Chain A
Amino acid sequence: DAGVIQSPRHEVTEMGQEVTLRCKPISGHDYLFWYRQTMMRGLELLIYFNNNVPIDDSGMPEDRFSAKMPNASFSTLKIQPSEPRDSAVYFCASSSHQGGPDTQYFGPGTRLTVL
C-alpha cells in the first residue's frame, strides 16, 4: 500500500510568493492532519479534517495560511504571502478512527525555505 504522499519534497521560494503544499492521504482514512516542524517550536498541529471537513484550525498561525480538502484523496496547505519565518518542514498525516483512536501515518514532509 502507498503511504501518505506529499509534494513537493522541497520548495524554495522568495518572500511574498504564494506556496501550495499537497497531500494525498492513505486510501480509506477519514482523518487528515497538517503539522509544521521547526527547531524552535518542535512539531505543531496546524489543522485537521474529518471526512473532508475542517474540525480544528486553532493551530493555523495567521490568515496567510489556509487549508482545503476538496475530496477524500487530496488536501492542500497554502501560504500567501510567504515569509522567511514560514521556513519549516510541513508534514501531512492521516488516520482512520473507526471504532476508536488509531495510529497517525505521516508523509515524508515538504521542506519549505522562504528567502
Chain B
Amino acid sequence: AQSVTQLDSQVPVFEEAPVELRCNYSSSVSVYLFWYVQYPNQGLQLLLKYLSGSTLVESINGFEAEFNKSQTSFHLRKPSVHISDTAEYFCAVSGPGTYKYIFGTGTRLKVLA
C-alpha cells in the first residue's frame, strides 16, 4: 500500500527567505508524485509533478521538488517566498495501474512580512 507523510503541519517563514516543505512516501512499486497548493476557500491546484525522467521538477512560480528514490522523499523548495505563497500545500502519490491519489495531511505555509 502507498502512503504519504508530511511531517510539518505548519511552517512560518519570513518573506524573501527560503523554505522547504517535506514529503516522504512509502510504496513498493514505482511512483508518481505530485504537489498541490490550496489557497483559502479554493480547490486544489497542481503545482508540479514527477512521473519519470529528470528527478528535479519545477513550477512556473519558482517552486521546485526533487524526487529522491533512496530517501523516498519529494521535498518542495523555494529559494525566496512571497506573501502570496501563503497557502496549504499537499503532497500526493500515485502509481502505474492506479488513478487514485493518496494525499498527505498538508502543510500550512504562512509567509510573514
- A-side residues, CB < 8 A to B, are 4, 31, 42-43, 45, 48, 50, 55-56, 91, 93, 95, 97, 100-101, 103-109
Contacts and interface: CB of A to CB of B under 8 A. Distances in A.
Given A42-B106, A45-B100, A93-B44, 12 more contacts: A4-B43, A42-B105, A43-B103, A50-B99, A55-B99, A95-B99, A101-B94, A101-B96, A104-B44, A104-B101, A106-B44, A108-B41
A91 B32 contact: no
Contacts of A93: 43-44
Main DSSP-derived SS at the A contact region: strand
Main DSSP-derived SS at the B contact region: strand
Interface string B63-92: 000000000000000000000000000100
A101 B44 contact: no
B57 interface: no
Interface string B14-54: 00000000000000000010101000011111100101000
Nearest to B101: A104
A112 to B, nearest CB: 14
The 9 closest A-B pairs by CB, nearest first: A106-B43, A43-B103, A106-B44, A42-B105, A103-B46, A108-B43, A101-B32, A107-B43, A109-B43
A103 to B, nearest CB: 5
Interface residues of B, number: 21
A41 B106 CA distance: 11
A45 B99 CA distance: 11
Contact of A56 (B43, B44, B45, B100): B100
Given A42-B106, A43-B106, A100 B51 contact: yes
A75 B76 CA distance: 34
A27 B90 CA distance: 26
A48 B101 CA distance: 11
Contacts of B106: 42-43
